[in-house]
Structure 1
Amino acid sequence: METLKSIFRFYVNSSIHVALAISALVSVTFIKFEVTNGNMFLFLSFLGSIAAYNFVKYSNVSKLYHKRLARSMKGIRFLTWFSLALFMYFAFKMSLKTLLYMFPFIVLTILYVVPVFPNKSNLRNIAGVKIFIIAVVWTGITVVVPVIYAEANMNFDFLIETIQRFLFIIVMMLPFEIRDLEYDSSSLETIPQTIGITRTKVFGSILLVVFLLLTAVKELLSSVEILSTILVTTISLLFLWGTEKEQSKYYCSFWVESVPIMWLIILVVLQNLFS
């Protein structure tokens, strides 16, 4: 049992789970835009997510969980460098256009951690922008770049999907901001710090309503699209309102991060049911 617990902790702490969540969102995009040749990009996004998230979590700037992870850091470092090496290898097999569109999101990830501004700050420490930077990066990597990679139609539905994904990511980040209230400096001015926990949940609920209603304006609308969006909205709402300042260790880092994977499963199941 202890061995299984160690494997699970490594799975979560090494960012494999969040990388799967990001890959699931890429898969959701591919399904919605009927892309069948996206395996290479899926693999690339998975490897890049492991490298990027571990870079953000375990850099010198972020020391939140270092003491707890001292024993497993060697394995995490190896996985990070291995993933980065494979990412670089497969990146060279991508088209120049795909890499050019991916580049700004890679830069944002680096600037999120590395202090390059005049006051030796980084994007994460600029008041009020942390959650929106993450939402921009996730939206770019899971919607914009995959559609460009697949040379799919960047039509009105693409615009709506991009807006929806941005709103969805913001909502998914709110439980983390509530969790980190006791760790985050007050200078960050996160949403829960600014308006409180209850109003943060109300704010997230409003975003989810907008996320759901935007589905209705899509030009190509199916029963699968409607039902899957309703279900993922409901699940997200439940996790949002179930978030507390004092929560179980893996509430956010496993369960909330599982919502994109649930979305993919829902989409695949409904497609099979309605096909």
Structure 2
Amino acid sequence: MKTLKSIFRFYINGSIHVALAICALVQVTFMKYGISDQYTFLLFSFLGAITAYNFVKYSKVSKLYHKRLTKSMKGIRVLTILSCSSFIYLSFRVSINTWIYMAPFIALTVLYVVPVFPNKKNLRSLAGVKIFIIGMVWAGMTVLVPLVHVKGNLNLNFLIEMIQRFLFIVVMMLPFEVRDLQYDDVALETIPQKIGVTRTKLFGSILLVIFLLLTAVKDELLSSIEILSTILITTISLFFLWGTDKKQSEYYCSFWVESIPIMWLIILVILESLFS
């Protein structure tokens, strides 16, 4: 049992779970646009996500305490190095055009950590912008970049999908902000700090309603699969949003909330098998 717990912690702390969530959203995009057999790009996204997230979470720790790293942290460092090396190798199979569209989101990820602003601030420490930056990066990397990679049509439907994905990610970040309420510096001015926990849940609920209603704005005939899957994932997201509290189980956010994109993909796969 102790070994299983250690493996699970490594799975979470090594950003493997969040990387799978990102891959799930990329695949959701591919399925919505009828695109198949993009396994190399999915692996590319998975490895890049592990590299980026571990860079954001652990770069300062590795730099300052590399001589005293725990066994787990050493494992995460090895995982990150291997993921980064494999990501670089696969990058040669991605077009220059794709990299051009990826560049702004990579820059935002770096600026999220590196203190380049006045008073040695990074984007993460700027008041009130944290979850919106994450929303932009996730939306760009799971909708825009995959469609550019396959030379998809960036039309009105694409724009709506980008807005929906941004809203979805912002809502997914709200439970994390509620969880961190007792630890975050007041200078961060997070949404729960500004309006309280209950109003944060109401704010997230409004965003989810907009997320759902935007489906009807798409200019092409929607399939019953997309409509039903959007309703289901909105319901699931509302359930986890309202289940959020300042005192929550250790893995409520880092496992269950981050599993919602994976649930979305599973819903789509099941619905396609039933109705196709």
Smaller-chain TM-score range? over 0.9
For the pair 1:105 / 2:116, whether they are aligned, the reply is no
In the alignment, what sits opposite 1:225? Answer: 226
1:53 aligned residue: 53
Distance 2:251 2:55 in 1: 20
Q: Does 1:192 align with 2:169?
A: no
Q: Is contact 1:115–1:122 with CA below 8 Å preserved after alignment?
A: yes
Cα separation, 1, equivalents of 2:173 and 2:26: 18
Alpha-carbon deviation of 1:71?
3.3
Aligned match of 2:256: 255
Deviation at 1:119, TM superposition (A): 2.0
Deviates more, 1:1-10 or 1:166-175: 1-10
Name the structure 1 match of 2:114. Answer: 114
Please give the alpha-carbon distance, in whole angstroms, between the structure 2 residues aligned to 1:88 and 1:71: 26
* Superposed structure 1 runs of 4+ greater than 4 Å apart: none
Distance in 2, matches of 1:230 and 1:70, equals: 44
Paired position in structure 1 for 2:266: 265
Q: Which residue of 1 aligns with 2:139?
A: 139
Gaps of 5+ in 2: none
Q: Please give the per-residue CA displacement for 1:91-135, whole angstroms capped at 9, x wherever unaligned.
A: 122100001111111110000000011321100000000000000
The 1-side partners of 2:75 and 2:116 are apart by 29
Partner deviation per Cα, 1:201-233 (whole Å, 9 max, x = no partner) = 000000000000011111230100110000000
Whole-angstrom distance in 1 between the partners of 2:209 and 2:88: 39
**Could you tell me which residue of structure 2 aligns to residue 172 of structure 1?**
172
Counterpart for residue 213 of structure 1 = 213
The answer for the alignment partner of 2:125 in structure 1 is 125
Structure 2 matches for 1:140-155, cutoff 5 A?
Answer: 140-155=140-155
Q: What CA distance in whole angstroms lies between the structure 2 residues aligned with 1:217 and 1:164?
A: 11
Which one-letter code corresponds to 1:245 in the other structure?
Answer: K
Q: How many residues align?
A: 271
1:36 Cα deviation after fit: 1.6
Partner residue of 1:26? 26
Alpha-carbon distance between aligned partners in 1 of 2:139 and 2:256, rounded to the nearest angstrom: 20
What's the TM-score, normalizing by structure 1?
Answer: 0.96
Q: Which moved more, 1:133-142 or 1:216-225?
A: 216-225
| 1:19-68 per-position Cα deviation (integer Å, ceiling 9, x unaligned) | 000000000000001112422211111000001111111122899xx9xx
Q: Partner of 2:118: helix, strand, or coil?
A: coil
In 1, distance between residues paired with 2:25 and 2:78?
26
